[in-house]
Amino acid sequence: MRIAAAVPTFAAPLAPAAPKAAPSVGPSEQEVQLIERMDSRNTLKHITELNKAPRVWKSAEYDKAADYVVAQLQAAGWDVHIEELQSGGWAGGGKLRNVVAERRGSAPDAERKLVIAGAHLDSVRGAPGANDNASGSSTLIELAKSFNGIDTRNDIRLVWFDGEEAGLLGSRAHAKAHPEDLARAVGMVNMDMVGSPHGQAGGFDLGMRNSNSLVDAMKGVLLRTGLSGVEYKERHNRSDHASFDAAGVPSVDFGVSVKDVEGQDPNYHSPRDTVDKINSQVLEGYGDLIAVTLLEMANRATRPGMAFRAA
C-alpha cells in the first residue's frame, strides 16, 4: 500500500476474525462453493513464495514474482499475459510489467460487462512485503483458482499491478490504456494488506467518488452470506482502486485501515513484514468476502450508481 509517511509453521493469529452473523436469506450455491474453496492455507503458500525478497519496481525480484503469478494462472487455465507499459513517477521513468489474466462471461456480447479485480505485486525497497502486498496478490491467485467452473454473466479481468509503491503507476497506466473497457466495467475490487496481524477481516474503503449505492451492494452481500465486514469511514486514494475510481468505475478497496495502518500492522514497510506475521484468520475472512463480492459484481447487469464530487 502506498501511504505517505510444505506449508511452514506460521505464528498463531493475534486477532481472531469477528464471529459470523446468521444470514437472513442465505448464500447462493455459487457463494457457498467460493467460500469453501478460498482457503488461507493455500494463500499462505503463495505468500511464502512471493516473500523471499523485496519485489521492487524494475527489479529482477519483481520479474521473478511476475513469472510465478503467470505460471500459477496458466496452470489454472486462465488466459494470462504480461502487459508492458511505460510510466514516469517519483522513482523515474521505466517499463511497467502488469500481469493480466482474463476469462469471458456467458452473457451475449451486447449485454456482457466487465469486472476488474486487482492487487499490487510490488513492494518497497528493504521490505519483503508479506502483507504489503503478497497477501493481496496471493489472494488474487486463489480467487482465480476458486472461480474455475463457476460461470458468470460478465467478463472477469484480474490484474497484478506493478509500481504501486512508486505512485500507483501500474494501475494508472492500465486504466489509461483501456478506456473502452472501463466504459463497460461494472466495478473494480482491490485488495491491499489483507493479512494484518492486528487487523480485522472484512474492512473496506470506497474510492473518493463512489456513491453509497456500492455500500448498499456490499451490505447485501454481507446480509445474504453472513460474512463479517465493516466500511472504514475514510475514503482514500492511496491504493490501486483510486485509478479506476477516478475514471468513473465504482471501486472498493479491501484491507487495512489507512488511518490506522501502523496499528493494524506494525511491520508495515519494514524488514519485519514477513510471512510469519500474517494473521491467517484475517486472511481467511478477507478471501471469503472478496470472492463473493467479485461474484456479485460479475453477475450484475449494470454498474452501481456513481456520484461524482469535486476531488
pLDDT of residue 25: 72
Q: What is the pLDDT of residue 11?
A: 43
pLDDT tens, residue order, the chain (311 aa)? 765 444 343 443 444 444 444 445 789 999 999 999 999 999 999 999 999 999 999 999 999 999 999 999 999 999 999 999 998 766 568 999 999 999 999 999 999 999 999 999 999 999 999 999 999 999 999 999 999 999 999 999 999 999 999 999 999 999 999 999 999 999 999 999 999 999 988 999 998 888 778 888 888 899 999 999 999 989 999 999 999 999 999 999 999 999 999 999 999 999 999 999 999 999 999 999 999 999 999 999 998 865 433 33
pTM across the whole model: 0.91
Domains and CATH numbers, the chain: 29-298 (3.40.630.10)
Instruction: Using alpha carbons, select from 196, 206, 221 the residue that is nearest to residue 283.
Output: 196
Do residues 181 and 216 make contact, with C-beta atoms less than 8 angstroms apart? no
